[in-house]
């Protein structure tokens, strides 16, 4: 590496995102999806990912992206998302950060209306970060407009160290297994909630669920095998208006086995509402890749939850999902439109959050450093 690598670091609802505006390597491919596969196969490109993600420059829960050319002139730019275990297909929190960065860096000019669409090509498709600014030009929030999202399968039994649990499989640009925390307990027999003290248990469970589903035909993408496989496990609970867990085993994953999933999409609209205004309030922690913990409510995971809840009749078309993270940060999600995904009825979700710049860095390589590209301890 002849020159320093310049990065701009953001956090979105607590989750890091390291932007590499000008990667020092050529990443071949006519589309971002092709670039991802070429990056996976390239020792040099993957080595750059590890150099910027691993300790001592990063950590086991680091996330980032290489800015690339878009697939065509319909998008402002493309991005290859990465984490400690490789290159992902989608990243909602990263999209929110990229939208705000694109305006602040001058890459995209702000619209005089105060809302600017930043169109980004990602491996799972074309997404939009709709960035909102106040009259003083200050960024207030960004909407992540994702690909159509939907429920894939409901009440799938999975063997874990906690016995047999049931999960819903959902698509939000990546495939997620959604696990209701209700009915789970710790080694002392106490019920679990989505709280930081239970994180080691959730990391273990997330890994177990993903491994157990590895050979399941339902996690195969019907048209693009590059998008197959469970990316993460969303462990969630439903909250009431006071922020207290109300989730029972009858709600969400495990409920109404064989109820028809997507065939009943939109039925009993609003049946899952927990807030006076009719919105649904949930808290989650998403364990993705190999045991990584999302500090945010997870953007693509929130999209998957919207698709699943709508398909199950628990989120009305005009309803809202208030989605909290394990660290107390929040996304709000609603439905923009209906569509199709994976050959099923689906909805286009909008996930609203914000992101903040935390650092600008130049990473260098000392030729005498024996710890290149670095290491991770989990």
Task: Give the catalytic positions in this structure.
Answer: 91
Distance of CA 108 to the CA centre of its chain: 24
Of 136, 171, 140, give the one whose Cα is nearest residue 153: 171
Angle in degrees, 0-180, between the axes of helices 32-41 and 43-53, rounded to the nearest 10? 90
Three state DSSP letters for the chain: CCCCEEEEEEEECCEEEEEECCCCCCCCCCCHHHHHHHHHHCHHHHHHHHHHHCECCCCCCCEEEEEECCCCCCCCEEEEEEECCEECCCCHHHHHHHHHHHHHCCCCCCCCCCEEEEEEEECCEEEEEEEEECCCCCEEEEEEECCCEEEEEEEEEEEECCEEEEEEEEECCCEEEEEECCCCECCCCCECCCCHHHHHHHHHHHHHHHHHCCCCHHHCCCCCHHHCCEEEEEEEEEECCCCCECCCCCCCCCCCCCCCHHHHCCCCCCCCCCCCCCCEEEEEEEEECCCEEECCCCHHHHHHHHHHHHHCCCCCCCCEEEEECCCCCEEEEEEEEEEEECCEEEEEEEEEECEEEEEEEEECCCCCCCCCCCECCC
CA torsion through residues 122, 123, 127, 133, sign: negative
* Cβ partners under 8 Å of residue 221, min gap 6: 175, 227, 228, 342
Task: With beta carbons less than 8 A apart as the criterion, state whether 328 and 125 touch.
Answer: no
């Amino acid at each position: 590496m002849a020159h320093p690598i310049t990065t701009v670091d953001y956090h979105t609802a607590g989750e890091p995102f390291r932007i590499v505006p000008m990667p020092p390597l050529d990443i071949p491919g006519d589309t971002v999806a092709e670039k991802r596969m070429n990056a996976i196969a390239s020792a040099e490109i993957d080595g750059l990912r590890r150099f910027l993600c691993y300790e001592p420059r990063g950590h086991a829960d680091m996330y980032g992206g290489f800015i690339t050319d878009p697939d065509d002139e319909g998008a402002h730019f493309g991005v290859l998302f990465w984490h400690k275990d490789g290159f992902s297909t989608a990243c909602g929190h990263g999209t929110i950060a990229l939208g705000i960065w694109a305006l602040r860096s001058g890459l995209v000019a702000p619209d005089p209306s105060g809302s600017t669409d930043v169109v980004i090509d990602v491996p799972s498709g074309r997404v939009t970060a709709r960035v909102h600014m106040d009259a003083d030009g200050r960024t207030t929030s960004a909407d992540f407009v994702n690909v159509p999202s939907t429920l894939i399968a409901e009440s799938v039994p999975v063997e874990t160290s906690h016995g047999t649990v049931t999960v819903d499989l959902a698509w939000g640009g990546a495939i997620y297994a959604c696990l209701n925390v209700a009915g789970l307990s710790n080694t002392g027999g106490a019920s679990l909630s989505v709280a930081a003290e239970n994180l080691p248990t959730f990391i273990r469970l997330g890994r177990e669920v993903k491994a157990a589903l590895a050979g399941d035909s339902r996690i195969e993408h019907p048209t693009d095998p590059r998008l197959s496989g469970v990316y993460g496990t969303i462990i969630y609970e439903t909250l009431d208006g006071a922020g207290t867990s109300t989730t029972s085993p009858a709600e969400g994953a495990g409920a109404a086995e064989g109820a028809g999933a997507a065939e009943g999409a939109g039925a009993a609209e609003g049946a899952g509402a927990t807030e006076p205004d009719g919105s649904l309030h949930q808290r989650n922690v998403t364990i993705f890749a190999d045991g990584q913990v999302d500090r945010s409510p997870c953007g693509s995971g929130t999209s998957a939850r919207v698709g699943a809840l709508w398909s199950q009749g628990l989120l009305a078309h005009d309803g809202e999902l208030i989605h909290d993270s394990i660290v107390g940060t929040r996304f709000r999600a609603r439905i923009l439109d209906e569509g199709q995904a994976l050959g099923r009825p689906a909805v286009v979700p909008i996930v609203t959050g914000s992101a903040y710049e935390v650092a600008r860095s130049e990473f260098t390589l000392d030729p005498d450093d024996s710890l290149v590209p670095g290491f991770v301890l989990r």
